[in-house]
Amino acid sequence: MTDRSKTARYCIGIDGGGTGTRVVVTDAQGVELAQSAGAASGLGRGIEAAWQAIEAAVAQAFASVALTLDWRECALGCGLAGANNTEWLAAFVAKAPELAALAVQSDAYTTLLGAHGGSPGVIVALGTGSIAAALDEYGHCRTAGGYGFPSGDEASGAWLGLRAIAHAQRALDGRVVPDAFSEELLARTGATDRASLVVWCCEATQPAYAALAPTVLAHRSHPVAAALLRQGGADIAQLIDALDAGGRLPVALCGGLGASLADYVPAAHRTRLAPPAADSAHGAVQLAQRAARQAEQR
Kindly report, residue by residue over 17-72, the tens digit of the pLDDT: 877 999 999 999 999 999 999 999 999 889 999 999 999 999 999 999 999 999 99
The span from the CA of 292 to the CA of 287, in Å, is: 9
The answer to whether residue 130 sits within a structural domain is no
The span from the CA of 53 to the CA of 81, in Å, is: 13
The amino acid at residue 164 is A
Smallest CA-to-CA distance from 264 within 277, 256, 255, 253 is with: 253
pLDDT of res. 7:
80
Q: How far is CA 158 from CA 72, 165, 279, in A?
A: 38, 11, 21
The amino acid at residue 129 is G
The SS3 call for residue 271 is: coil
Same domain, 78 and 161: no
The answer to whether residue 145 sits within a structural domain is no
The answer to whether residue 128 sits within a structural domain is no
Same domain, 94 and 185: no
Listed as ranges, residues in the chain with pLDDT below 50 are: 1-5
- Please give the angle made by the CA atoms of 70, 72 and 77, to the nearest 5 degrees: 100
Q: What is the largest CA-CA distance in the chain?
A: 68
pLDDT of res. 4:
47
Same domain, 259 and 288: no
Contact by Cβ (8 Å): 54, 83? no
Same domain, 282 and 184: no
Same domain, 168 and 193: yes
Range of the domain at 176: 157-270
- In the chain, the percentage of residues whose pLDDT exceeds 70 is 98
- Please give the angle made by the CA atoms of 128, 236 and 41, to the nearest 5 degrees: 25
Same domain, 193 and 262: yes
The span from the CA of 43 to the CA of 84, in Å, is: 10
The answer to whether residue 152 sits within a structural domain is no
Contact by Cβ (8 Å): 53, 77? no
**Would you give the distance in Å from CA 161 to the centre of its chain?**
16
The answer to whether residue 150 sits within a structural domain is no
pLDDT of res. 79:
96
pLDDT of res. 1:
46
Same domain, 210 and 245: yes
Same domain, 167 and 253: yes
pLDDT of res. 17:
85
**CATH number of the domain residue 249 falls in:** 3.30.420.40
Same domain, 15 and 111: yes
What pTM did the predictor assign?
A: 0.83
- Please give the angle made by the CA atoms of 24, 27 and 30, to the nearest 5 degrees: 80
Q: How many domains does the chain have?
A: 2
Smallest CA-to-CA distance from 122 within 269, 256, 240 is with: 240
Same domain, 254 and 288: no
The answer to whether residue 87 sits within a structural domain is yes
The answer to whether residue 146 sits within a structural domain is no
Same domain, 187 and 244: yes
The answer to whether residue 126 sits within a structural domain is no
Same domain, 103 and 35: yes
